[in-house]
Structure 1
Amino acid sequence: MITFVPLTGFLGAGKTTTMTAAALALQAKGRKVAVITNDQGVELVDTKLVRSELDSVAEVTGGCFCCKFEDLVEAVVALVASDGVDTVIAEAVGSCTDLQATVVRPLRQYYGDDMVVAPLTTVVDPLRHLAFARAAERGEPESDLSYLFRQQITEADVIAVNKLDTVSPERAVELLALLRSAHPKAAVVGYSATTGAHLEELLDAWQAPATNEDVVLDIDYDRYAAAEAQLAWMNQELDLTATEGGFDAAAWARTVLSELSSWAAEHDAVIGHAKITVETADGDLAKLSLTEAGARPTLDRSTDRAAPTGRAVVNARVACEPAALDAAVTGAVEAADLSAAVTSSATAPVSFKPSYPRPVHRLAPAGA
């Protein structure tokens, strides 16, 4: 019997870090674990990162799990057949919602004899939650992005508040209490995927019965589509060559994201997330991320030595027009090349906006 663990949550919440940390923890307990990444595009930072940590990895690209349901099932079947796994953790696109109806219930109905579907877990960034909450407190109209964020939390069996190491203990206690009061049917767990603090509580929550499987989201698909369409999505690969001996992969990536952060702040553009990996010729991997305009990039993984060449993958999700994001990333790369003494050769900019979400299945709860 296969256990399938579905993760959702807004862009930049730390789903990939959570998925990887949880997979390693479960493997230490003797489970055979695989993970599946998901994105509207191709050339994924997340896939490259988890493949550096785990052996069994697959990806579903070109749309969310709800619109690529058969691709998701095929990926699970292939992982089980080739790697003999007993647990699959899968993270949905960060702009996706309505997964109880479009993924969880279809899996339980059509594959329930062969698969146990764990409680649907929504990963939450406390600072992102605070930003949306402050906008509501100011009486601002609910944006489409805030609407999407709220729906992701509403349908969760488990609300997994990640990154508690980034807020004060008092703020963490306050937020967890607020979420428990607002969502009494959900299990609310606070942890840090980066440090591993309280991660065991999340693993325990996955063993409990689902509490929200009968939820019916009163979701406006036009607003849902509008939220996705606010974001320009860019995935790009670049070949990097040092002009003198070797270059610092992390420094190059930091400059790209710092420039993009400044540009987004100047243009009042919300950053869903921006991520970069650089794999050097020596096999080292650097990874940095950014989740807020005007903020400093976070170094998630560094390299210890300079390298003559490398290959970078840039993923950016920013609330702006695709052409504007292309220009911003191009300018940021030029600044990084100059700063790090690098010559870069990139694939053509491919920023786009997602198409209207059209789930393959959308099932109501049994008896509804």
Structure 2
Amino acid sequence: MVHVVLLSGFLGAGKTTTMLAAGRAFTAQGKNVAVITNDQAADLVDTTLAKNELDDVAEISGGCFCCRFENLEAMIKQLIDERGAEVIIAEAVGSCTDLQATVVRPLRKLYGDVLTVAPVTTIVDPSRLRAMIGDESDLGYLFAKQLAEGDVIALNKSDVHGSSLRAIGKELGAAFPHARVLSYSAATTEGLDALMAAWDEPATADIDLEVDYDRYAAAEAALAWLNHTVELGASDAPFSPASWAERALAEVSADCARSGYLVGHAKVSVESPAGLVKLSLTEAGKPVQTDRTAPGTVLIATATLNLRVNCEPAALDELVRRAAEAAGHEVGAVARSTNGASFQPSYPRPTHRIPAGASFPRESPGHSHRLLT
């Protein structure tokens, strides 16, 4: 049986870091591991990073797993048939919810004889939790639904928040008694074994989440989404890709803080002859985090920026243009944008939505059961 692990959680919670850490751990156990990244658009920083860490990496873009369920089926089949995957870790879009009804139940009911689906894990950044709990906005509504449907609520960044997570865990356990609540650090892997062990246990409850899809759609549309490519060239002498990336995200951080924009996440990767650089930002006005760096200077490089910011798309485009140019001036590089304009996600329309306890015909009309052939 192939084991599918589905990771949920708001933007910037650390899903990718968790996915890669777990992927390495499963590989060390001798298991053949594949991962699937997911986004509303192509050109993901996370996919680039994953390909530098693991052998089998796939990407589903153009919508969340629930709205691209047939793509998810096909990708799982390909990873099993062509790559021999034994464990598949799938990281859902950070603005997605209702996964129990739209992804987990369809997979279990259609393919329960060839797949096991782990309890849904909602990964949480404790800093974001403090800011979002009690928030009556549409984004707050979405965040609360992600918590409510988690079989496992995993408080990430224990290396940063330490003993304070004990009290937070107790509060979450009282608010969501159906869920296993645990803390860990994806960065240091402390507590990762306990999280992975939870994926082998049965789900504690068949959660039937009530979701107002108008509010869900409004929450996604509150964020401008940008996947953007920038070609960098030396203006005179070789430049440092790591320095450019750090300065570009620092400019984004400061600009968003001045404008009062909420940052869902901001990520940048730079590929060059020096190697791969990857940095991230999860809160306006805060320092940039270096996830992977490569010392050295180069004459050319290609940068990919993924930003999810609570502003109008045109404002985000202008913000990124200023940041790229300002960083270029500081490090001696010319920045030329080659593609990518900000957009707002369309209304979520899942392929399936199965309530708890509902029957699901094995020969659903128009369904080929591709995993079974």
- Whether these two folds match at TM > 0.5 is yes
Structure 2 equivalent of residue 162 of structure 1: 156
Question: Does structure 1 residue 286 correspond to structure 2 residue 277?
Answer: yes
What do the CA deviations read for 1:316-359 (whole angstroms, capped 9, x no partner)?
00000000000000000010000110012212441000000000
Structure 2 equivalent of residue 238 of structure 1: 230
> In 2, Cα distance between the equivalents of 1:103 and 1:21?
23
Structure 2 equivalent of residue 73 of structure 1: 73
> In 2, Cα distance between the equivalents of 1:16 and 1:267?
28
> In 2, Cα distance between the equivalents of 1:61 and 1:92?
11
Question: Does structure 1 residue 304 correspond to structure 2 residue 295?
Answer: yes
Give the secondary-structure state (helix, strand or coil) at the position aligned to 1:347.
strand
After superposition, where does 1:210-225 map in structure 2 within 5 Å?
210-212=203-205, 214-225=206-217
Shift of 1:243: 2.3
> In 2, Cα distance between the equivalents of 1:261 and 1:148?
24
What do the CA deviations read for 1:19-40 (whole angstroms, capped 9, x no partner)?
0000100110111100000000
Structure 2 equivalent of residue 144 of structure 1: 138
> In 2, Cα distance between the equivalents of 1:218 and 1:81?
36
After superposition, where does 1:1-368 map in structure 2 within 5 Å?
1-133=1-133, 136=134, 142-169=136-163, 171-212=164-205, 214-282=206-274, 284-366=275-357
> In 2, Cα distance between the equivalents of 1:279 and 1:33?
25
Q: Which moved more, 1:172-181 or 1:218-227?
A: 172-181
What do the CA deviations read for 1:71-93 (whole angstroms, capped 9, x no partner)?
01111111112211111000000
> In 2, Cα distance between the equivalents of 1:245 and 1:330?
22
Give the secondary-structure state (helix, strand or coil) at the position aligned to 1:49.
helix
Query: 1:295 corresponds to which letter in structure 2?
Result: K
Query: 2:56 corresponds to which letter in structure 1?
Result: S
> In 2, Cα distance between the equivalents of 1:74 and 1:31?
21
Give the secondary-structure state (helix, strand or coil) at the position aligned to 2:20.
helix
Give the secondary-structure state (helix, strand or coil) at the position aligned to 1:89.
strand
Give the secondary-structure state (helix, strand or coil) at the position aligned to 2:301.
strand
In the TM superposition, structure 1's runs of 4+ consecutive aligned residues that sit over 4 Å from their partners are none
> In 1, Cα distance between the equivalents of 2:153 and 2:249?
29
Q: Which moved more, 1:71-80 or 1:326-335?
A: 71-80
Give the secondary-structure state (helix, strand or coil) at the position aligned to 2:101.
helix
Query: 1:247 corresponds to which letter in structure 2?
Result: F
- Asked whether the 8 Å contact 2:237–2:332 carries over to 1, the reply is no
Query: 1:159 corresponds to which letter in structure 2?
Result: I
- Asked whether the 8 Å contact 2:102–2:351 carries over to 1, the reply is yes
> In 2, Cα distance between the equivalents of 1:349 and 1:56?
26
Q: TM-score, normalised by structure 1?
A: 0.96
> In 1, Cα distance between the equivalents of 2:162 and 2:191?
16
What do the CA deviations read for 1:176-224 (whole angstroms, capped 9, x no partner)?
1111121111111200001111110100000110113x21111100000
> In 1, Cα distance between the equivalents of 2:148 and 2:5?
18
Shift of 1:364: 1.0
Give the secondary-structure state (helix, strand or coil) at the position aligned to 1:94.
coil
| Gap regions ≥5 residues in structure 2 | 360-373
Shift of 1:241: 1.3
What do the CA deviations read for 1:43-76 (whole angstroms, capped 9, x no partner)?
1000000000000000000000000000011111
- Asked whether the 8 Å contact 2:266–2:308 carries over to 1, the reply is yes
> In 2, Cα distance between the equivalents of 1:184 and 1:207?
19
What do the CA deviations read for 1:236-287 (whole angstroms, capped 9, x no partner)?
11111122332111110111111111111111110000000001124x1110
> In 2, Cα distance between the equivalents of 1:168 and 1:251?
30
> In 2, Cα distance between the equivalents of 1:344 and 1:273?
22
Q: Which moved more, 1:315-324 or 1:257-266?
A: 257-266
Shift of 1:315: 0.3
Identity rate, percent: 51
- Asked whether the 8 Å contact 2:102–2:354 carries over to 1, the reply is yes
